Structure formats: structure tokens, C-alpha cells
Amino acid sequence: MNSLSHPHSPAGVTVIGGDGVGPEVVQAAMALVDASGATIAWEMVEAGAKSFARGIDSGVPDETFESISRNKVVLKGPLETPIGHGGKSANVTLRKTFETFANIRPTRELPGIITPFSGRGIDLVIVRENVEDLYAGIEHMQTPNVAQCLKLISRLGCQRVSSAAFALAESENRSQVTVATKANIMKLTEGMFKSEFEDVATRYPHIQTNHLLIDNCAHQLVVHPEQFDIVLTTNMNGDIISDLASGLVGGLGVAPSANIGYEVAMFEAVHGSAPDIAGKDIANPTAMILSAVMMLRHIGQFEPAEKLEQALFLTLEEGIHTSDIATGEAYGTAAFTAAVMERLGKESSVPSREHRAFEIAPVTTADSDVHPGSRTKVGVDVFVESSDSPEQIAHTLTQVTKNTGFQLKMMSNRGIQVWPSRGVQPSVVDHFRCRFSVNDPAAWSDEMVLGLLAKVSPAYRWMHVEKLESHNGALGFTKAQGEN
């Protein structure tokens, strides 16, 4: 990833003003960037609500895609996303299209902003995998009463975002990276994230590492946040704890972020579009200004970045705040921006961190893929819909699947073994996983699986099937709660 531009040639930056308060805070940030001495060639484009209204289903016009592809750097305001109806999120579309796989969320105690955690020296970064996990958005109504969302974790995704976390540590002279997972429960998905992180960590022996369960990490962020330097985690976990971390230092109004890939980087405030206060000159531009500071560092314009950050710090330190922060006099968006402008070239009592170029070591599919030396067929899981009792289903399936080469071994409901019975029957819904073991692994064929489904189908509606395999002797699937 090339994060540098020539200091004397303007860097092309695509600007998406966004919805609601977006244009106000983006214009404030742009004006301050220009006044800081940075050399930027801005290119204004559109995405979000206006695009949806024009009938663009993705919320992102072709000309916006083209601009981003050309400039590689984006300063973006918040975009509205239809909730429960309408088009897909334009935010997610942009992140996935340009494969910005690392979401970076700094959390730093800011001068002049008093919170219950003031004085604790909080200065950490949440690095969140940004394109996989449950946010792949692959969902199905498997029965009228049971919805499924697939949690997809790849070695490629784990290695890329782990490399980004260590690259960030080096660029900001940080000494520790904590990986936070739920690998005790999701042993294959979250477990892969943990193990791939540990593999990448061997290439950075000078950086300390540790692992926390994500729930303990959330607890520790509140109890002892100053212990953290960089926290790396999966997509949904990171979405949650990064907002928690922002709350420690003043809320989303002061929370910047970056979405980084090998080719494209997008910088944006974390907060939403806040349409209820749009056009009222009361939005807090701090998060967008700090996002612009991150952008300047990304393109190698370190001096203007520090100049702007110090002016912002001094403004806050002197008690100049917008209404979401102020305990006394509140400044409007324009007045706050003007106050920062007046302080450009002055320094606060809080130093900026030292920053160097941020370069992520490239990882390709060829680098990350593991090819099993052995692959053994163990059986098949067939998911069926039924309101029958577990005993009735087991009896029927046992009878109809004779002579298929498979034997019913176990049934679970919502992950809990319900047959053979453990003596206490949990509540069941109309969604059963029926685990069949293969009698002779050497005789396995896809035709056998199709034959099994042909026998199951007249008795029960099946909606999903998974082959069960072991790779290099390790099971490639998990057992149900209670299954031996």
C-alpha cells in the first residue's frame, strides 16, 4: 500500500459530502486542511441519500466509483442507510467494493473534554476486520421461524487485518497488540482469527502480543482502558467495542476512523448523519477534522497533519466546544471551525504522537491458503424443517435412510443435542440438524449424498446440507452441545 504523495504535488482526494450534517462537517475539515498548508486537489462526488433518490440501488453512482479508483483516497461524510427496507448500505458497498479490509478507530483522551475517564491517559486504537464475519450479509430464512446468518472467516482476511495491526503499531511506535476473540465458543471461526494472528505475530518479535476473550476485553476497556495499545478483533466484535471505546473519551462526535485497503483508503467520522440537526450550525466537526488528520498522515503530509491536530487540541484545551460537549458557552460549527483556524501554527500542551509511513505487508490468496495433505469424509449434516418430536424424526429418518451408506448419529436443535436424549429435553423449534456418519469413508461419493437427500426429502423438507470432513486429522466441523 502506497501511503505517500510528493510533498509539492497536490494529492488527489475524492470527497463525499454525505447526508444530514455531513456537508457541514466535511466543508469545515476541508477548509482547515487547506489552511494547514497541505497540498490537496479535492474532487467532489455524490453517494448516499441523493443517489438512492435518483434510483441508484447501490447508493453509489458510477462516477463516484471512477473517482475513487483514480484518486485512491477518500474523505467521506456520513451516509444514510435505509433501515429494514430499501437499498443496501452505501457505506458497506464502498468498503467491500474497494476491499478496505482494516477499519482503524483511534481512541485518545482529548484535552478539555471531561469524561469519567479523564486523566487516565487513554490512547489506544481498535483495528477491526472490515469485510467478512457476519457482516458478509449472507442470511436465509431457513424455516418460517428460524433465520440464519453465515459467519465467514477466511485465512486471507485474518492475515491481512493482522498485518495491518502490526503495521500500524510500527507506524505509531506502539509496543503491544491485543487480539480479542470469542474463540472459546466459536472455535473454528474466531479460533482461526486467533491462530492466524499468532502466526503473523512471529514476524514482529519486537511487538508484545496477548489474547483476551472479547467479553473480557469489553470489561477491561471500562475498568482499565489505559492498559491497551492496539486491539485487533473481528468485524462485529470490533463494531461494538470501537463504539464503546469512543464513549470513554467523549462520544462519537470526537471519533475519527479510517477504512484501509491495499489500494484505497477512506477517512470518515464515525457518527451518523443526524438529520435532525442538519443545517442548524450545531454539528461537532471534531471527528471529521481528526479523520482529515489521519488522511494527511496516510498520504505522507505529516507536518500539516500535526499542525492541524495541535490547533484542534489547543482549541479544545481552551474550553471551546460545540453544544454536545460544552458545559458552558457552546460554539456553533462555523465558529468552532474558525477558532481552530485561528490557532493553526500554535501548539497545545498535549503532544501529537510520532507517526511514520503506514505500509501493510501484502498478503494474497496464494500466500494464505492452506491445502490439506489429507481430507477424510466423516459424514453429512442435513438440516430439516419439522414440528415432530426429536424421537419421531429420528425414527423416521432411521427407517427411510437404510441402505444409503449413512447412519443417523445425532440430532441437534439450535446447537443443542436433542437426540439421543440426555434425559432432559430442551425446548425445540422447527429446525433440526441431523448428523449422519458415513459407514465406509472410502466408498464416499457425492451420488451417495444425493441418494441420502432423495430418501430424506419425501419425509421432511430439507433446506441445507454440509459435508463433514477432517483435514490432516483435525475435524473440520464442531460438535453439538452435549454431543460426544
Catalytic-labelled residue, pool 182, 194, 307, 377: 182
Judge whether residue 31 has pLDDT over 50.
yes
Query: How many CA atoms are closer than 13 Å to the CA of 112, on its beta-carbon side?
Result: 21
Q: What is the pLDDT of residues 450-475, one digit of tens each?
A: 999 999 999 999 999 999 999 888 89
Q: To the nearest whole percent, how much of the chain has pLDDT over 70? A: 96
Judge whether residue 2 has pLDDT over 50.
no
In which element (H, E) is residue 306 found? helix 302-317
Give the whole-angstrom CA distance, residue 252 versus residue 25. 13
460 is catalytic: no
- The pLDDT of 19-23, averaged and rounded, is 95
- State residue 371's pLDDT score: 85
Catalytic-labelled residue, pool 19, 229, 239, 324: 239
- State residue 352's pLDDT score: 96
Q: What is the pLDDT of residues 69-96, one digit of tens each?
A: 999 999 999 998 766 555 678 888 899 8
Among residues 153, 237, 230, 239, the alpha carbon closest in space to that of 196 is found at 153
Catalytic-labelled residue, pool 123, 199, 243, 388: 243
Q: Domain ranges in the chain?
A: 1-115+249-354, 121-241, 373-475
CATH fold of 373-475: Alpha-Beta Plaits (3.30.70)
Catalytic-labelled residue, pool 123, 215, 281, 388: 215
- State residue 83's pLDDT score: 62
Judge whether residue 183 has pLDDT over 90.
yes
Q: What is the pLDDT of residues 137-180, one digit of tens each?
A: 899 999 999 999 999 999 999 999 999 999 999 999 999 999 99
Same-fold call for 1-115+249-354 versus 373-475: no
- State residue 5's pLDDT score: 44
Among residues 194, 196, 183, 126, the alpha carbon closest in space to that of 156 is found at 196
Judge whether residue 41 has pLDDT over 70.
yes
User: How does residue 1 score in pLDDT terms, banded at 50, 70 and 90?
Assistant: very low
Residue 75 near residue 11 (C-beta atoms within 8 A)? no
- State residue 3's pLDDT score: 46
CA dist list (Å): 329 to 149, 231, 261, 343 = 48, 36, 41, 19
Q: What is the pLDDT of residues 247-302, one digit of tens each?
A: 999 999 999 999 999 999 999 999 999 999 999 999 999 999 999 999 999 999 99
User: How does residue 426 score in pLDDT terms, banded at 50, 70 and 90?
Assistant: confident
Whether CATH 3.40.50 fits 121-241: yes
Judging by beta carbons within 10 Å of its beta carbon (0-12, 13-18, 19+), is residue 327 exposed, middle or buried? exposed
Residue 478 near residue 419 (C-beta atoms within 8 A)? no
243 is catalytic: yes
User: How does residue 113 score in pLDDT terms, banded at 50, 70 and 90?
Assistant: very high
440 is catalytic: no
Give the whole-angstrom CA distance, residue 336 versus residue 328. 14
Output 93 or 4, whichever has higher pLDDT: 93
DSSP-derived letter for residue 350 is S
When the pLDDT of each residue in the chain is averaged and rounded to a whole number, the result is: 93
- State residue 84's pLDDT score: 53
Distance in Å from the first CA to the final CA of the chain = 47
Q: 1-115+249-354 has which CATH code?
A: 3.40.718.10
pTM of the model as a whole: 0.93
Catalytic-labelled residue, pool 72, 76, 135, 194: 135
Q: Would you call 465 helix, strand, or coil by DSSP?
A: strand
- The pLDDT of 195-216, averaged and rounded, is 98
Judge whether residue 367 has pLDDT over 50.
yes
